[in-house]
Chains A and B, each alone.
Chain A
Amino acid sequence: MNNTLNPRITRTTPVIVQGISGRAGRLHSRLMKEYGTRLVGGVSSRKEVAEINGVPLFGDCAAAVKATGATTSVALVGAFDLLAAIEEALAAGIRYIVTPTEGMPVHDALKAKRAVDAAGAIWVGASTPGMAIAGEAKLGFLPNDALIPGPVGIMSKSGTLSYESGYRLAMRGMGTSVWIGVGGDAVKGVRYADLVPFYAQDERTKALLIIGEIGGHEEEDFAAACIAHKFSKPVFALIAGRSAPEGVTMGHAGALVHGSHGTWEAKRKALEAAGGTVFGSLNEMVEGVIQRLR
């Protein structure tokens, strides 16, 4: 675990998009820029295109970083190209990389994670809508309707369930501070527990909402980290998959229950032992968060 991880970005953080000339690259680089992200360039192997969405294109990350001073990258490339994209970004000096792509092979993710840790960089993903600082900038494609500035830090394994949660909170006037989609894969970059020290000291975060899923033990590790760091802000949690059958993967590669491991009940117990509140439904979560923070 790296205690110095800081996932916050600002309107001045220089960002490139790897794979910018693809369908997703073109769309999301435009949407990010419109939201306020400082997009400074794109990486594409298609030499005939010089510019997309008003930013220059480069043949590789090294050239893009050299010309633009980018520190941060959003990689919108295929699942089998992700490891190479991450390695290329790290070699070019990128310190923060977000990879929304679903279906990254697990053994590739192991190698990527080791490379990211060795470089002391931050990796958010894979299988994530990305991250956002509401009202400022975003990396990826969290929906604008769910993004209003406020006191709740969000960390989520699920894109859609976090959209729904953030949106319902926003409809009630409750906004977010730093929203990180850690993603639904088992092996990934940033995990809940890694960011406990950050959220503890982040002044704009008054409470933390964990949107979890059955499978693995990230929620349990997070609970242990809260205890270890004496995390004193309110912790709320919503965990999907309470009624999922054992041994069947429910969409997300990480959401697989085996025996007594990764069950909803085990996660609830761990989070409650760390002082957290686990809600049974979206409606209860919204009411609970609003009551506590109003």
Chain B
Amino acid sequence: MYLLEHDAKELLTKLQIPVPPGTLVSDASGGNVALPAGPWMVKGQITAGGRGKAGIIKKAATPQEVSEHTRAILGRVVKNRRVDAVRIEQQVAGGSEAYLSLMIDAAAAGVRVIMAAEGGVDIEALPRDAIRTAVAAPDASAIAECAQELAAHFGGVKARALADAGAKLAQAFMASEAMLIEINPLFVKADGSWIAGDAKLVTDDGALERQDDTRAMLHARATAYPEAALKLEHGCDYVVVDPEGEIGLLTTGAGLSMMLIDELRAIGLKPYNFLDVRTGGLRGETTRLVKVLKWIGEGKNVKVILINVFAGITELGEFSRLVVKALQEVPEVKVPVVARLVGNGLPAAQQVFGAAGIALYPDLDDALVEVKKHLNDREGVKG
């Protein structure tokens, strides 16, 4: 889960990383926001890089400028993400800039440390010899040691600051079970002290159950992290890939579901969502299927639902009964359903879907012919 800068800084503060004082504002009318001492930065909160270039990070010298920038930035859409909040933060006075990041290195089964004496720049755009990097074993002391060795190449106060920041971030990285922490820029003062100007933090969704602070953050701001919140609450993966999409997908398995979306798009069709419903986790209940059908029902252009399941272990007879029951529980979803099922228990599923009037094909190409028929026949039909 890629945290908003504000959330990343809140979490890092708890983990002893110094950040400029700041506050989150999501209401343009301002109201009584207690601002830190100025001057300020007004920073639009989205989970994507390049915010400065996109014009959603602005300096403000007066409270009036703070309000103006806040009003201008809130509601902007940048990289397909709506800016729902800004962080109003004290500007860091003086100091030079550096770069520091820690990330999981999957191939080396370790933590990669990356450093540069320049900050606030696109690290990938720097010349290779401006960057120092090495991989450490996944424990805080090994990472700190690695950071210290890399920092020594820079000399002066930057060496001291980067080594200290490396050690503290190593602790934070391990404690929060991070995938990535990037501090860019890291402000270094003349006395060797430092502060995190920007912070990018990606946490591991798989560790959420034992990471109380991250989980609390997710619960407090579920709308900012819809996919992660949904997975934690419902145990499945669901992403709206095209709000204008016409085909709702009830699918299982991440790889096959992604491939189906690719193939539909390649032939000019418009899938609405990605779904890995995890048939193995349904446990005889319609709860998850009902939720999913309601979400798909929210697609204003969805004209047909396509079920695609390859059942290696799943019993298709039971699965099809659950689907039929779930459909009865969401009468508001009135679009036709086309199913493509193959594997374990297909004859039973054929009976169940046959009785329910759902067209079922063992061959995906045949199912797609049926789907296209519904797309051509109907305007959006919804209850």
Q: Using CB atoms and an 8 Å cutoff, list the residues of chain A in contact with chain B.
A: 27, 31, 79-80, 103-107, 110-111, 113-114, 117, 129, 141-143, 145-146, 156-164, 167, 184, 186-188, 191, 193, 211, 213-214, 216-218, 221, 238, 240-255, 259, 280-283
Contacts and interface: CB of A to CB of B under 8 A. Distances in A.
Contact of B239 (A31, A107, A248, A253): A248
Interface string B329-364: 000000000000011100000000000000000001
A122 B166 CA distance: 33
Given A161-B256, A163-B343, A216-B106, 5 more contacts: A111-B138, A158-B254, A161-B258, A240-B258, A281-B259
A105 B177 CA distance: 8
Interface residues of B, number: 52
Give 7 closest A-B pairs by Cβ, nearest first.
A158-B255, A160-B253, A251-B254, A161-B255, A143-B312, A160-B256, A113-B109
A280 to B, nearest CB: 6
17 contacts: A80-B210, A103-B205, A141-B312, A143-B344, A158-B255, A160-B254, A160-B255, A161-B256, A184-B254, A186-B106, A191-B107, A213-B254, A217-B107, A247-B48, A248-B227, A250-B254, A253-B204
Given A107-B174, A159-B253, A213-B258, A143 B109 contact: no
Contact of B312 (A129, A249, A259): A129
B47 interface: yes
A160 B109 CA distance: 26
A238 B259 contact: yes
A213 B364 CA distance: 21
B320 interface: no
Contacts of A117: 109
B126 interface: no
A243 B109 contact: no
Given A110-B138, A114-B109, A142 B312 contact: yes
Nearest to A285: B259
* Interface hub of B106, B237, B276, B344 (most chain A Cβ within 10 A): B106
B257 interface: yes
Contacts of B259: 161, 164, 238, 240-241, 281-282
Contacts of B261: 243-244
Contacts of B206: 79, 103-106, 253
Indicate the member of B174, B255, B310 with the most A CB atoms within 10 Å.
B255
B266 interface: yes
Contact of A110 (B48, B110, B237): B110
Given A243-B241, A248-B239, A160 B138 contact: no
B4 to A, nearest CB: 13
Interface in B203-218: 204-207, 209-210
A218 B105 CA distance: 12
A142 B256 CA distance: 15
Contact of A162 (B124, B255, B344): B255
A259 B49 contact: yes
A107 B203 CA distance: 11
Nearest to B263: A281
Interface in B63-79: 79
Nearest to A27: B313
A114 B256 contact: no
B2 interface: yes
Contact of A247 (B47, B310, B312): B47
Given A114-B109, A160-B310, A282-B259, A255 B179 contact: no
Contacts of A79: 206
A251 B258 contact: yes
Contacts of B252: 160
B258 A187 contact: no
Contacts of A216: 106
Interface in B245-278: 252-259, 261-263, 265-266, 274, 276
A281 B106 contact: no
B104 interface: yes
B107 A221 contact: yes
Nearest to A280: B266
B263 to A, nearest CB: 5
Given A107-B174, A243-B265, A213 B255 contact: yes
Interface in B87-114: 104, 106-107, 109-111
B266 A281 contact: yes
Contacts of B310: 143, 160, 163-164, 167
B175 to A, nearest CB: 10
A157 B255 contact: yes
A107 B207 contact: yes
B306 to A, nearest CB: 15
Nearest to B124: A259
A104 B2 CA distance: 18
A142 B313 CA distance: 9
A164 B204 CA distance: 29
